[in-house]
Each structure stands twice: as C-alpha cells, then as structure tokens.
Amino acid sequence: MEHTLSDEQLMERFLEGRASAFQVLVNRYSQRIFNFILRHVGDASVAEDLVQDVFLRVVKNAAGFRAQAKFTTWLYTIARNLSIDALRKAKHRQHVALDKPLSSDDDGGATLLDMVSDNAPGSDVKTRDRRFVVALEKALRELPEEQREVFLMREMEGLKFREIADIIGVPENTVKSRMRYALEALRGHLAAFADTV
C-alpha cells in the first residue's frame, strides 16, 4: 500500500530500488507540477516537456535527497529552476492570455485556463466570473515577478510560507512581505469586483 506512504518514505523506497514508489510520486505530483510550470512559462507543450525534465532530475539526483528534507520543497525547487531556465532560453518573454484559444484556427475551443485543473463550481459560475478571471490575470501580470511568484505558490499551490522561502532561497519574512504587497496591489486592481466576489 505505497500510496498511503509519505513522500519522504516513498523516496526512501525508491532509493532501495522500488520503482513503484517513484510511480506513486509521479502520479501524486505530475498534474500539480504541470500547473505550476504552466503558470510560469505560459505554454502547455513546454510545460509538459519540463514536467518530464523535473522527474528526470528527481531520478538523477535521488541519491542526494536528504530524508529529513521535505520532498515537495525539493520538487518545487527543481520545477522553479527549470521554468526560469526555460524562460531565459526563450527569445523573448511572452505572456499568453489564459483565455486565448490554444489553437490559432480555433476561436471558441479549449483555452490555457481549461488546461489548469480547478475546484470551481459549475460552468454557469465560470461564465459569470469570466470577466473577473481576465481582470485577475491582467492584475497578476502587472505584479513584480517576485510578488507574482510568491502569490501563485501560496494561493495556487497551497505552499506554506516556510516552503516558499526554502524554494526561492529568501527569508520567510521576505516571502510574507512580498505576499502582503501582492495582495495590496491585487486589491487595488480588482476593487471594481469587490461587491461581486
């Protein structure tokens, strides 16, 4: 019953040669890591490739994983670093609108937003809140990179401030400060929606 084991226990089993333990980790985190990377790079096919790279790095560096460390912190650090590298290698940084159709010949088809899983209520609520999503996306793009990164890790990935601090390599108080500034800026940008949210 490996699926009931902690991430760290699964890593220990993987290091002992049990490939099935690694598969449990892949199943547990591949979608979350895809969503995380997609928010950074804005391209689904690049994100899919980077997810593969993340788990290849985990395999390559498994022997260096410290059992007392938190697996998710290590995993998100790898994903973040690969995302940053991918953006640096790009000719120019592009921000793809989440509501833009994925295919150039498809005006009403699937969008980037559809690729990111969520726990939102039914489609009627999604339709009604579409303007809010577009406004939020615009407001997030206008945040400084450090603030946007902290906000997304905290709100979209559910990471704790301490984990975020470990992943991006800054003190926890700096993370909290960036989050506070991000929230203040977002409140300002989204003030028009205050009565509807």
CATH code of the domain covering residue 32: 1.10.1740.10
Examine the pLDDT at 96 and tell me if it is beyond 60: no
The tally of domains found in the chain comes to 2
Q: Between 132 and 17, whose confidence is greater?
A: 17
Average pLDDT over residues 182-187: 91
Average pLDDT over residues 7-15: 92
**Mind listing the pLDDT tens digit for each residue in 141-176?**
888 989 999 998 998 888 999 999 999 999 999 999
Confidence (pLDDT) at 1: 77
Do 151 and 182 touch, CB atoms closer than 8 A?
A: yes
| Predicted structure pTM score | 0.70
How far is Cα 149 from Cα 165, in angstroms, rounded to an integer? 11
Other Cβ atoms within 10 Å of 156 Cβ, number: 14
CATH number for 153: 1.10.10.10
Examine the pLDDT at 51 and tell me if it is beyond 90: yes
Same domain, 129 and 56: no
Confidence (pLDDT) at 111: 58
How far is Cα 33 from Cα 19, in angstroms, rounded to an integer? 20
- Per the listing, tokens 């390599």 go with 169
Where in the sequence is the domain holding 159, given as residue range(s)?
A: 118-193
Average pLDDT over residues 111-126: 53
Worst-scoring range by mean pLDDT, 52-56, 86-90, 96-100?
96-100
Question: Is residue 118 classed as helix, strand or coil in its secondary structure?
Answer: coil
Residue 102 included in any domain: no
Same domain, 72 and 19: yes
- Cα-Cα-Cα-Cα dihedral sign, residues 127, 145, 166, 174: negative
Residue 111 included in any domain: no
